[in-house]
Amino acid sequence: MENYLYLALFAPIIGSLFATLFSNAKKSQLVGIVTSLLLAVSMVASIVLCAHVYSTGEIIHVNMMDWIVIGHVSIPFGFIVDHVSVTMMVVVTIVSTMVHIHSNGYMDHDKSFNRFFAWLSAFVFSMMVLVMSDNFAGLFIGWEGVGLCSWGLIGFWYHKADMPHSKDITKSPFSTLSPYSAVSPSWAANEAFIMNRVADLGMLIGIFLIFWNLGTLQYDEVFANIGMLSHELIVAIAIFLFIGAMGKSAQFPFNTWLANAMEGPTPVSALIHAATMVTAGVYLVVRANEIFTIVPEVGYFIAGLGAFVAIGAATMALVATNMKKIIAYSTLSQLGYMFVAAGLGAYWVALFHLATHAFFKSVLFLGAGNVMHAMNDEINIKNMGGLRKHMPKTALIMTVASLALAGIFPLAGFFSKDMILESAFANEAYILWTVLWVTAGLTAFYSFRLVMYVFYGKENYHHLGYHPHESYGYVIAAMTPLAILAVVAGWFQGEFVSFITHSLPIWEGHLEHNTHYMLIGVTSAIAILGVAFAVFKYLKNGTYFSGAMSKRFCYELLANQYYLPHFWDKVIVKPYYKLSVYSWKKIDMKVIDAIVDGVAKMIYTGGEEGRTIQTGNLSTALKLMVVGVFVLLTLVLLFGLTK
């Protein structure tokens, strides 16, 4: 089984290195084929490992080599395949393989086709290192690798002008003051990278505290001895680790980078939102569950923040017109659900929702990519409509994925989302349950608002000269397995529970059968109501109940993300910029540079003045020698008298 571990781990980086060899060459379809095949190898190896762990219960642990050895410090370069890591491996590789195949069609006409696949495969490799490492140091290496690759992929089209996208400018009283409504790929990449570096500092402090107090970073040793530390120290470790998770999973206040990351190619969005970057934060909390379990107060904070983000992102999706950003807000909202489950101690429920969410969310992004290709990269859903007759397969697949996202029975999202709501109710966190219940209705509404605007109603694109068409056959084929999993993944909840609870705490909501079915009923009811209301309202392109909503304060508030980007711009970015300019002009130029230049000038002037004594005249030299001897003797005499 060890060989399968190596195949799963290293196949993506081999593909990345292969693509890198041709990164500056002309587009070659061979690059896309080879990297996709290598991802398929990684996927098959991961599935084989999963089947082995499921059937035998054996945990595969490999120490490849000594990595950091200093005195008594020894951190090996090791990897582990247990129930948690192999679940993530299967999810990551299935989604990544289909995204790679889809990308062959999506990036077909891009001149940087080869470079794209080099970054994309490296992205997957970094995520595999993150989830397979057996220690916090290895996890951090993968963590930073994911951040670097996301920077390269979000800013992939760096040559685009640094100006708002004309097709997606949010009308706002602040739109002339802030670039946040629509930004360039380079700006978005830098924003994501810098925000994550700030959060990663917190995670690094948490890892340092673990090592400083326990002398190890190996998961098994850390979790076995973490209880020996003081409660206050464990709280600090948990908080700092969660700060890192907040950055990767874009939780408040690090949430603004996620929507702007949509400036990257759409397959990148699918990978970031479904299987890699943003799921890393949830994985960290689940993997370090033995730390967070000891400090339930931190867990309550995580759950509260998750609920806050869930409903906040859902409300922003209600009015967004950028197709990709609607799906991005949906990801942010669903991440909030996962953190609620993890914060309440239902770690396997959080991981279950992570897995089901990966399938239907990747389908939604890949489907959005199909629509954008068919519409000359149009992203405003109000400029679409009636595309179902031109793109019936994409319409069907996206509708199925939207039903799963809405939590409609018997699709996958129903089972995992229902378990999260049950976990909140069973823990008597009724406020959290209410927030998540309302969010479920909002999710169903905005999901089908997108479907209705894009695939039904009046065709609003004729005046723009668009001629929509269905995507390549193999692109649809790549989406189909993900769509099937979005339907059936929830049916295996029982098997998943029995499998994953070998590594995660067993959590079962202590609810009576009547309460259990009542919760299912009310959750399903609000989801169905949300879908029905969206269909009714937007069947005729929003002619029902349209009113003057676009002029209302609430609409402006939601369309501009509660003005949070503008707030950060005013409170942090601009003051920091002014402080930097002041420091540069007043401190750096007038103090630091003045001191350095003064020393240099003094030495130079001394040299210039001293040069005059080098006349070459013997008489002058003798006179100077006498002066020197006189000064020296005088100093000796004075020193002797004082002594």
List of the chain residues with pLDDT < 50: 163-181, 543-547, 549-550
pLDDT at 355: 94
Q: In Å, how far from its chain's centre is CA 567?
A: 22
How far, in Å, CA of 611 to CA of 405, rounded?
82
pLDDT at 546: 47
pLDDT at 177: 33
Is the CB of residue 310 less than 8 Å from the CB of residue 255?
Answer: no
Segment 215-254, tens digit of pLDDT: 889 999 999 999 899 999 999 999 999 999 999 998 888 8
pLDDT at 606: 83
Q: What angle do helix axes 430-455 and 323-343 make, rounded to 10 degrees?
A: 160
pLDDT at 385: 83
Segment 85-128, tens digit of pLDDT: 999 999 999 999 999 999 998 888 888 899 999 999 999 999 99
In angstroms, the Cα distances linking 48 to 30, 95, 238, 496, 503 are 27, 16, 34, 16, 19
**Tokens 């709501």 belong to residue:** 421
Is the CB of residue 444 less than 8 Å from the CB of residue 529?
Answer: yes
How far, in Å, CA of 314 to CA of 326, rounded?
9
How far, in Å, CA of 173 to CA of 192, rounded?
25
Collapsing DSSP states into helix, strand and coil, what is residue 294? coil
Helices (H), 407-562: 412-426, 430-455, 473-488, 493-500, 513-538, 553-559
Name every residue whose Cβ is closer than 8 Å to that of residue 79 and which is 6 or more positions away in sequence.
5, 9, 61, 62, 64, 132, 133, 134, 138
pLDDT at 509: 62
Residues in the chain: 643
Q: In Å, how far from its chain's centre is CA 327?
A: 14
pLDDT at 136: 94
Query: Can you give the pTM of this predicted structure?
Result: 0.85
Of 199, 106, 92, the C-alpha closest to 144 is: 199
**Tokens 């080879």 belong to residue:** 34
Q: Which residues of 235-267 are buried (b: 16+ CB within 10 A; e: fewer)?
A: bbbbbbbbbbbbbbbbbbebbbbbbbbbbbbbb
Collapsing DSSP states into helix, strand and coil, what is residue 155? coil
